Structure 1
């Protein structure tokens, strides 16, 4: 949320289509950014609790694609596709995420990595094409809790990576 010149909160024009999740992770932002930019890391933590990821293609560059399958704890497979639309290391990543390249319901996520003392505040701002799609993601797919769990998995993974690097 931002404020107007009169001190009144200004609502984003996309607020009714957004999900915003943030977390402070106890690592420098370069380390957190790297966990998003290298498939060897992403495949270890991506997704909510109980999910695993199999990558079919990965190229981290503007216009590059991450084509992968998320395997749910119940055995259901979910085809996923991401293309990177903006990359500003180690500050920002913008991506388009859907089930395939042609998915009309694909959504945009903006990831920002902000120093917070020795830690990093990561914010995931996801904007859906419509409010109805955002609401469906929340109610039918548990998007808010899933996002929190995903960032929790990232935090736990990074703690382990940092611990191993120190040994």
Structure 2
């Protein structure tokens, strides 16, 4: 991880039924966007620490589907399906998580002159009571996922 890691992390913001993770990565917007849109990158960092991901279908375009299984360190499999709503290169990706917990996710990529500000916002469709349970694992899981993205980007810049 970069030496500036602590300054690149902005604490997660949690609303009534939404979570927003904001990070500034020491990488170009094109590279960060590519890490989100190319299966060979995304499969290396998506999911919390210790998880691996097996892609079943990856069609990143409006109306396309991303199906995958997240494998936890303790052997539990979590099937996931995302339906892409919007893909605007290199600015924005919007998708609906089609299995519980249901949410609309928006990733916005802002160019900061060689660095990239990523704002990842998830708005949950579940009741407030269900969201209260979901956020106990969704917030740290999203934070860890962004940590893994940062590690992946750092490994690319070392090549």
TM-score with structure 2 setting the length: 0.86
Q: Which residue of 134, 137, 144 corresponds with 1:149?
A: 144
> 1:20-59 alignment to 2 at 5 Å?
20-59=20-59
Which protein has the larger Cα radius of gyration, Structure 1 or Structure 2?
Answer: 1
Q: Given that residues 21 and 124 in structure 1 are in contact (C-alpha distance below 8 angstroms), is that contact kept between their aligned partners in structure 2?
A: yes
Structure 1 segments, 4+ long, off by >2 Å, are 130-134
Distance across 2 between alignment mates of 1:152 and 1:107:
21
Q: Given that residues 19 and 134 in structure 1 are in contact (C-alpha distance below 8 angstroms), is that contact kept between their aligned partners in structure 2?
A: no
What is the aligned-residue RMSD (CA, Å)? 1.2
Distance across 1 between alignment mates of 2:67 and 2:51:
16
Aligned pair count reads 144
Does the alignment pair 1:138 with 2:138? no
Distance across 2 between alignment mates of 1:18 and 1:72:
24
TM-score with structure 1 setting the length: 0.82
Q: Given that residues 22 and 119 in structure 2 are in contact (C-alpha distance below 8 angstroms), is that contact kept between their aligned partners in structure 1?
A: yes
